[in-house]
Amino acid sequence: MSVFTTVSNDELVPFLKNYSLGQLVDIKGIAAGVTNTNYFVTTTHGKYVLTLFETLQASELPYYVDLMVHLGQHGIAIAAPIANLRGEYIDELNGKPTLLVPCLPGAVTDSPNVAQCGQVGEMLAQMHLAAASYSGQMSNPRGPQWWSATAHDMYPFMSEADAALLHAEVQLQSQHKFDQFQMNLPKGVIHADLFRDNALMNGDQVGGFIDFYYACNDILLYDLAITLNDWCVLENGDIDAERARAMLAGYQSVRPLTDDEVADWPIMLRAAALRFWVSRLLDFHKPAAGEMTFAKDPGHFQRVIQHHQARTDFWL
Amino acid sequence: MSVFTTVSNDELVPFLKNYSLGQLVDIKGIAAGVTNTNYFVTTTHGKYVLTLFETLQASELPYYVDLMVHLGQHGIAIAAPIANLRGEYIDELNGKPTLLVPCLPGAVTDSPNVAQCGQVGEMLAQMHLAAASYSGQMSNPRGPQWWSATAHDMYPFMSEADAALLHAEVQLQSQHKFDQFQMNLPKGVIHADLFRDNALMNGDQVGGFIDFYYACNDILLYDLAITLNDWCVLENGDIDAERARAMLAGYQSVRPLTDDEVADWPIMLRAAALRFWVSRLLDFHKPAAGEMTFAKDPGHFQRVIQHHQARTDFWL
């Protein structure tokens, strides 16, 4: 359950008077999500999603919200923020910063098919190109510095063999100078968390990408690696070659990879898996106080990395 | 048929590469409309409408296009313009300025029901409020000066009785100082041409208002009068009281009329009818060279005015 801040009809009616969205019909809490409060809001005009931010402050939101506005203006499948009558996207309700967006078509899929992976790859590339004209800047708070420091804190919780593997991966990435200021790879705005649960699929089409609150400026190829590691994965942590080829082909139909990107693709897949292995270890061994996270198995991304280590064909 | 400038697949494919809208699937000319060329463009992402402007220059478009962007950002039911990869809404194809918008749900209705008239009134009021924060300025090119001068040119084509009636209406409006700088009525951005064929209805809901190319800064009540004169009209030029009451109630549920507006409502209904009586007379007696207008019966708005003259109940 992810309604941390309750909103009543009586509170929402005056709030909505500051918008151009018709009269309130119904409000319903959304169970998904672990960080923010989300409600489906139905009005005489349509169906919307109201988010109350539980951890991000209003002052921290413009990078993400303006990015969503920008992407929406370019026709990228996302839920474009709706402005209130003062022309502001970020409003306030019950002491929390809020955002209203239209409800997107489609639903989350746990087992994407080949066509869906192709469409997600294509939309991701379109998003990377459309965001090139976005002026906001945000460094990645989950970059190499973060995972190196966090891995160091995790070793005591791990078996000697697992800790050695993690340490070797951190070292490997460090040797490859995985740093956005050092690598010769195209950079831009990345979603950085485009897992299956952050996209609504409408049949084989992308209904919309959601949850841009890890978005940042980083290496584009890293975003593709994060996405592929989740969308094309098998239960054992190996990658389904057919889905991977479809996602890469979809992506490259819009933005063909450079020679440097092709060369760094195998190491980038491991970097993307390393970032989530480390964050899952952290959530598992040191859950934040009061956080309602259902800690996910850290071993999953360890297995993803081990399969990448053994791989010789990277579907390009 | 309103495809004045043809567009081939081979021309559209490179044009679309500058957008984030997927791969071209199909293109089809749209028969409706008499001024611009419009195509339905289907891509792997969805269905869009491509407009090639045949008379407006690119330099004349920003007021209208930025208004549409603004209204879209506020959740008003319109087709929000889509930016290309350079961040521009107005592009160019085959020598004509272009605009790409998503295809709206719904269809034009010739015989709106009471509920639809209520929804149109409500959305119009929301549009007026949302546009209050729009900074663009455009005077009405079809205002009192225009209709006085144009009526003068039409008298020679008319019967003595009709010309006398038209002259009396022009005089009446002039005596009531119908001038946006003189009247004590709320002003703002108006659509100015919200006839039934400029709205797509999705069931009883407004799918979207279209064709903002007469939009300007003028008296808000005038926009409501223009809209009601068309949506609530009977074949004989009289107004259907039930639809009129629904439209007024819908409008006032969002923006209640001021005392001044209530007082001026009867004269405003006649001003709105006068403007279209005059423009239809012009189209009928002096069609612009090469214009593919199907001249509409000018007598219709003469009858609308005559019914307004005889009316005592204005549904408020």
Decide if pLDDT at A274 tops 80: yes
Whether A49 and A101 have beta carbons less than 8 Å apart is answered as yes
Q: State whether B77 and A127 contact (CB < 8 Å).
A: no
Task: From residue A271, give the alpha-carbon distance in Å to each of A124, A159, A247, A276, A278.
Answer: 19, 21, 18, 9, 11
Whether B206 and B231 have beta carbons less than 8 Å apart is answered as no
CA distance A188 to A305: 25
CA distance A298 to A284: 7
A137: pLDDT confidence band, cut at 50, 70 and 90?
very high
Task: From residue B5, give the alpha-carbon distance in Å to each of A199, B82, B91, B94, B227.
Answer: 39, 21, 15, 8, 31
pLDDT of residue B2: 64
Domain ranges of chain A: 9-102, 114-310
Decide if pLDDT at B271 tops 90: yes
Q: State whether A45 and B75 contact (CB < 8 Å).
A: yes
A1: pLDDT confidence band, cut at 50, 70 and 90?
very low
- Residue A296 forms contact with B (CB below 8 Å): no
Write the pLDDT tens digit of every residue in A276-293.
999 999 999 987 765 555
For A188, the enclosing helix (H) or strand (E) is: strand A187-190
Say which CATH topology domain B9-102 has.
Phosphorylase Kinase; domain 1 (3.30.200)
Q: What's the rounded mean pLDDT across residues B139-153?
A: 94
Write the pLDDT tens digit of every residue in B38-91.
999 999 999 999 999 999 999 999 999 999 999 999 999 999 999 999 999 999
Decide if pLDDT at A167 tops 50: yes
Residues of A in contact with B122 (CB under 8 A): 22, 44
CA distance A220 to A187: 5
Least confident of A89-103, B280-294, B299-313: B280-294
Beta bridge partners of A187: A219
Collapsed DSSP state (helix, strand, coil) of residue B223 = helix
pLDDT of residue B1: 42
CA distance A3 to A104: 20
pLDDT of residue A287: 79
Q: Taking CA atoms, what residue in A is nearest to B66?
A: A73
Write the pLDDT tens digit of every residue in B101-142.
999 999 999 999 999 999 999 999 999 999 999 999 999 999
A295: pLDDT confidence band, cut at 50, 70 and 90?
confident
E strands within chain B?
24-29, 37-43, 47-52, 91-93, 96-102, 187-190, 199-202, 205-209, 216-219
Nearest-neighbour CA in chain B from A100: distance (Å): 10
Structure tokens at B10: 């081979």
Write the pLDDT tens digit of every residue in A200-243.
999 999 999 999 999 999 999 999 999 999 999 999 999 999 99
CA distance B251 to B124: 7
Write the pLDDT tens digit of every residue in B175-190.
886 655 557 899 999 9
Q: State whether B205 and A45 contact (CB < 8 Å).
A: yes
Nearest-neighbour CA in chain A from B104: distance (Å): 14
What CATH class does B114-310 carry?
alpha beta
- Residue A76 forms contact with B (CB below 8 Å): yes
Residues of A in contact with B91 (CB under 8 A): none
> The tokens 């819908």 sit on which residue?
B250
Task: Please name the amino acid found at residue B84.
Answer: N
Collapsed DSSP state (helix, strand, coil) of residue A206 = strand
Q: Taking CA atoms, what residue in A is nearest to B131?
A: A85
pLDDT of residue B100: 98
Q: What's the rounded mean pLDDT across residues B240-249?
A: 98
Q: Which of A16, A18, A19, A20 to mutate to test the interface with B (most CBs of B within 10 A)?
A: A20
Residues in chain B: 316
Q: Tell me the Cα Rg of chain B.
A: 20
Residues of A in contact with B206 (CB under 8 A): 45
Q: What is the mean pLDDT of chain B?
A: 93
- Residue A293 forms contact with B (CB below 8 Å): no
Q: Taking CA atoms, what residue in B is nearest to A127?
A: B20
Q: What's the rounded mean pLDDT across residues A103-124?
A: 97
The values of phi and psi at residue B149, to 5°, are: -65, -40
Write the pLDDT tens digit of every residue in B253-265.
999 999 999 999 9
Decide if pLDDT at A2 tops 80: no
Q: State whether B85 and A133 contact (CB < 8 Å).
A: yes
